[in-house]
Structure 1
Amino acid sequence: MRWSELVEYCLAKPGAWPDEPWDDGVVAKVGPKIFAFLGTEGSRALGVKAGASREEADEWLLRYPDDAEVMAYIGRSGWNSLRIDGAIPDEELLEAVDDSYDAVVRRLPRKDRPAVAG
């Protein structure tokens, strides 16, 4: 999967918008919350909320030990970095984006939820 396709997929989600809060790459947000860390063009990984808990997110590490890792700083909350040019099929990467988006939207206050997702 190409980085540009991943960005396009993320930003097509209801209420999604791009941000560069740290000037070192793009994140996709819904409301005020990040649901995907996209990096910069040419990035080889995607950061997503991969499970409700660290234990649930660890399933990715077991299935794809060479292509999934715990994200620095926020990994304890179930965030993983998934390699986009490795063994993880594109469909599973897109599903991971969907799951991350849904998990973030569920936790948003009603006022911040996109109308069609809420």
Structure 2
Amino acid sequence: MKNKIIEYCLKKKGATKDYPFGPDPLVLKISGKMFALFFENKGYLNLKCDPVIAENLREQHETVRPAYHMNKQHWNTITIDGSLPVSDVFAMIDHSYDLVVKNLPKSLRESISKMN
């Protein structure tokens, strides 16, 4: 599942990967802004999330909790242990990516939307 998550993130328009904090976590960015941090060695994923949705996800899933080393209001940590369907994880990735793109300057949003 780990490789599927990385591949899915990198298929997002303009997504890039980086290791600014050392070998772990893998940081996935759009226009220099983080939308996912994947702690491959520890088996969890940090994703940006609307605060109301973040609370709902935490209530619904034991594997979703306030983010490790992040703003706990706006980021969730998802334990990747197979208990969540991959489609749910992908939906959370989509939400995180969309939140970050939405807050980029208009010119960057337009250039991203034109990418193949």
TM range (shorter): 0.7 to 0.9
Give the aligned partner of residue 43 of structure 2. 44
Question: What is the alpha-carbon distance in structure 1 between the residues aligned to residue 18 and residue 59 of structure 2?
Answer: 31
| TM-score scaled by length of structure 2 | 0.86
- In the alignment, which residue of structure 1 is the partner of 2:92? 96
2:23 is the counterpart of 1:27 = no
- When normalised by structure 1's length, the TM-score is 0.85
Equivalent pairs counted in the alignment come to 111
How far is the alpha carbon of 1:85 from its aligned partner? 1.4
Gaps of at least 5 residues in structure 1 are none
RMSD: 1.6
**1:50 maps to amino acid:** C
The amino acid across from 1:45 in the alignment is Y
- Tell me if the contact between 1:45 and 1:84 (Cα under 8 Å) persists in the aligned partners: yes
Matched, 1:56 2:57: no
Distance 1:83 1:116, change over 3 A: farther
Residues 64 and 87 in structure 1, CA contact (< 8 A), matched pair in contact too: no
* 3-state SS in 2 of match to 1:9: helix
Q: 1:35 to 1:73 in 2, by over 3 A?
A: closer
Percent identity over the alignment is 30
